[in-house]
Every structure is written in C-alpha cells, then in structure tokens.
C-alpha cells in the first residue's frame, strides 16, 4: 500500500474484522489477504454482485486449499508434482497404503488450508506410522488428507507476480541445501503453471529439485509472506495492481 501511495493511488487498509462491517462496494480494486472461509464467501458474493476486481479473487484463494489445488494440478498438462492421493480421514478410507511406491516414506497433509501448526504436514516412514497421523487429523475434525510421496532433493521457496511479470527463489534452508543444479527457467515455468492452475496473480510456493535436476511443485499459495524479498516484491506487486487499476479505468471509460 505504501508503494501504491507513492504511485498516486488512494488506498484504504482495513483489518478482516473491519471488512466484516464495511461497505466495500465503492472500491475499484480489492486486495484481500484474508483466508477464512466465511470472509472469502462474502468477498465472492461481493465480486458477483458488483464486478469489483480482486487480486487474488476469492475463488482463487479457495483454489489454494490443498484438495482443490491438487485437483487443479492434475488437470494442468506439463505441471510436475509428487505422486499424491487425496482421501477422507476415516479409518475405512485408509485401510491400504497408497497405490504408488514410496521407499522414502510419505508426507501426510491436511486437505483444506495450508499449515496452521506443526502437525498439519507430517512425515511417515511406514503405513503404521501414517495410521497414527491419520487418527490425529480425524481427532481435530480435519475431513480430508493428502498422502504424498517423499521426494529427495533441495527444498526451494519461490515467489512471483503475474504470472510472467516477476519471479524469484531461494533455498528453504541454505545451511542444509545440497545446491543441486537445475535450470532456472524450468523452475519459473513450473511455478507459473501452478499459479495459472489456481488462477493467482500474487503467489508463492514450494518446490523440490531432485539430484537429476527435475523440479516438482509441492505447494502454491495466495499472498504468501514474501520473506526475505519484501522490498523488491512490494514494488512488483504495486506495478501489477496499477496495471489492474488501469484495466478497470479502461472498462469504465
């Protein structure tokens, strides 16, 4: 918002609680960073009734919920991600191990929102350990889980605006990264495929680079933290939002 103000754009910042009581119909552009389901549904209704432009739209934020994200990934040609099965958290649905082999183990991930605590994404070496994790998910009333093959390699965090405008990346933990070689353009292409799959313009996510240079996307998020790159990201985000505002002005002209 500071960058937009410098660019002679009038801005208003409000908390999610203030948004609940506000009349948001007069804005040309809404930049929502809330992720709770009731607020997203209110925003989706506002978009439908007024045609207001939002970045990212409510449906795109919902599309980053893990089960919907994985469904979108499966329907995106050329996008690489580890073998994954989505199941209910009930005992009956998890009597058998996944159909794909996973000599290195599985990651069990809650099927709705991304990590809210350390127990939302948990590693299991074998199926007996996975059953314990499943029961813990079920006890927290988490309805779905994703079982994903562990993929050996360097864990990378990436951020982007566009897709196609700006992209950057860094190692999740530089002290342990093996710095396996890979093609930067391949990483950017995979990240942008993931962003297009869920229709987000401001995004971040995680990827794995394997010892043979292959790249697998494991997550995509709407409005990530932009840790370590916030100064640069804020300029690029403001550019994107100004473009969207010009598009709004063009439609009104």
Say what the pLDDT of residue 145 is.
95
Domain that holds residue 157: 1-79+151-253
Among candidates 156, 142, 144, which has minimal Cα distance to 220? 156
Q: Is 99 found in the same domain as 72?
A: no
For residues 137 and 170, state if they share a domain.
no
What mean pLDDT comes out for the span 190-198? 97
Query: 31-40 burial string, b = 16+ CB within 10 Å, else e?
Result: bbebbeeebb
What are the tens digits of pLDDT across the range 70-79? 999 999 999 9
Mean pLDDT of 43-67: 94
Which residues have CB under 8 Å from 148's CB, separation 6+?
A: 82, 83, 84, 106, 107, 108, 109, 218
SS3 label, residue 47: helix
Q: Are residues 112 and 89 in the same domain?
A: yes
Residues 163 and 65 in one domain: yes
> Which of 114, 149, 184 is the last residue in one of the domains?
149
Q: Whole-prediction pTM value? A: 0.91
Same domain, 140 and 237: no
How many structural domains is the chain composed of?
2
Q: Where residue 144 falls among pLDDT bands split at 50, 70, 90?
A: very high
Give the pLDDT of residue 25.
85
Return the CATH number at 116.
3.30.1490
Domain final residue pick, 149, 164, 189? 149
**How high is the pLDDT of residue 113?**
74
């Amino acid at each position: 918002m500071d960058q937009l103000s410098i660019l002679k754009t009038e801005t208003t910042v409000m908390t999610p609680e203030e948004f609940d009581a506000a009349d948001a119909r007069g804005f040309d552009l809404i930049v929502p960073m809330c992720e709770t389901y009731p607020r997203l549904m209110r925003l989706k209704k506002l978009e439908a009734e007024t045609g207001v432009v939002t970045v990212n739209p409510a449906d795109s934020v919902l599309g980053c919920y893990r089960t919907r994200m994985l469904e979108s990934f499966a329907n995106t040609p050329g996008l690489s991600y580890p073998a994954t099965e989505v199941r209910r958290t009930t005992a009956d649905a998890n009597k058998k191990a996944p159909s794909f082999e996973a000599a290195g183990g599985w990651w069990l991930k809650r099927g709705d929102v991304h990590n809210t605590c350390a127990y939302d994404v948990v590693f299991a070496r074998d199926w007996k350990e996975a059953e314990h994790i499943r029961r813990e998910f079920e006890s927290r009333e988490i309805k779905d889980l994703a079982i994903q093959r562990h993929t050996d390699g360097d864990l990378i965090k990436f951020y982007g605006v566009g897709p196609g405008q700006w992209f950057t990346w860094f190692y999740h933990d530089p002290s342990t990264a093996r710095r396996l070689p890979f093609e930067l353009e391949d990483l950017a292409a995979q990240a942008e495929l993931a962003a297009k799959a869920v229709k987000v313009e401001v995004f971040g996510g995680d990827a794995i680079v394997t010892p043979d240079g292959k790249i697998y996307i494991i997550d995509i998020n709407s409005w990530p933290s932009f840790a370590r790159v916030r100064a640069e990201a804020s300029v690029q985000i403001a550019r994107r939002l100004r473009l969207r505002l010009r598009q709004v002005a063009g439609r009104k002209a």
